[in-house]
Every structure is written in C-alpha cells, then in structure tokens.
C-alpha cells in the first residue's frame, strides 16, 4: 500500500501501521503557504492525500502525487498549467521533507 503523503515525499510505505502513522503526522495536515515566482499560494492538505491549492479565497485546483521512476509525479484533474503543477508539487515535497 502507498500513502499519498509518502509518495509526495518520494517514499514508499509498505505496511498499514506506517501509513496510519504517516497520515496522523500533524505537520503534513497543516495548511501552509508557498511562494512561487512572487505569487503566494495557500496549500491545504486533504485527508485523501491530495492538496487543495488556493489563491486567497479562490481554489485554483487540487494536485496529487503518483509514484514515478524518478520520484513523485504530480498530477491534477483541474485546468492547471503542467509547469505550475510540477513546481507546486516540488515545493510541497520540499516542505514535507
């Protein structure tokens, strides 16, 4: 089994106890702010391992990590620029490390 938070860190957890421990990590569940290219984004981690990205009060999208050969691959189902998704994902990975 894989925890999306661990995927965002580039880690693979192999048992349920480690996943539960990871999901309860309060640092990973707290809202935090990222600054990319002079713009501030609020990031709200969700219980399902996705990240809601906010610009002030406006939700601009939700992103999530999937495992990849060279670390986490960041994806979205929303209409967000691929470079922005990757930049936000890398910043989330760095924040969660």
pLDDT in tens, 36-85: 989 999 999 988 889 999 999 999 999 999 988 888 899 999 999 999 99
Token pair 């569940």 in the structure block, residue: 29
Which strand ranges, in their side-by-side order, compose the sheet holding 73-76? Answer: 32-36, 39-45, 51-55, 58-66, 73-76
pLDDT in tens, 72-95: 899 999 999 999 999 999 999 888
Find, among 64, 92, 96, 91, the residue nearest to 78 by Cα: 64
pTM above 0.85, yes or no: no
pLDDT of residue 21: 56
Instruction: Identify the residue with better confidence: 51 or 13.
Output: 51
pLDDT of residue 42: 97
pLDDT of residue 71: 82
DSSP SS3 for 96: helix
Task: Enumerate the domain spans of the chain.
Answer: 4-96
């Amino acid at each position: 089994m894989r925890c999306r938070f661990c995927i965002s860190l580039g880690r693979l957890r192999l048992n349920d106890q480690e996943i539960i421990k990871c999901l309860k990590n309060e640092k990973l569940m707290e809202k935090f702010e990222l600054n990319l290219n002079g713009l501030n984004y609020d990031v709200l981690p969700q219980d399902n391992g996705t990240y809601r990205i906010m610009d002030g009060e406006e939700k601009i999208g939700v992103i999530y990590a999937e495992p990849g050969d060279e670390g986490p691959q960041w994806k979205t189902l929303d209409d967000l620029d691929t470079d922005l998704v990757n930049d936000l994902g890398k910043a989330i990975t760095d924040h969660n490390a």
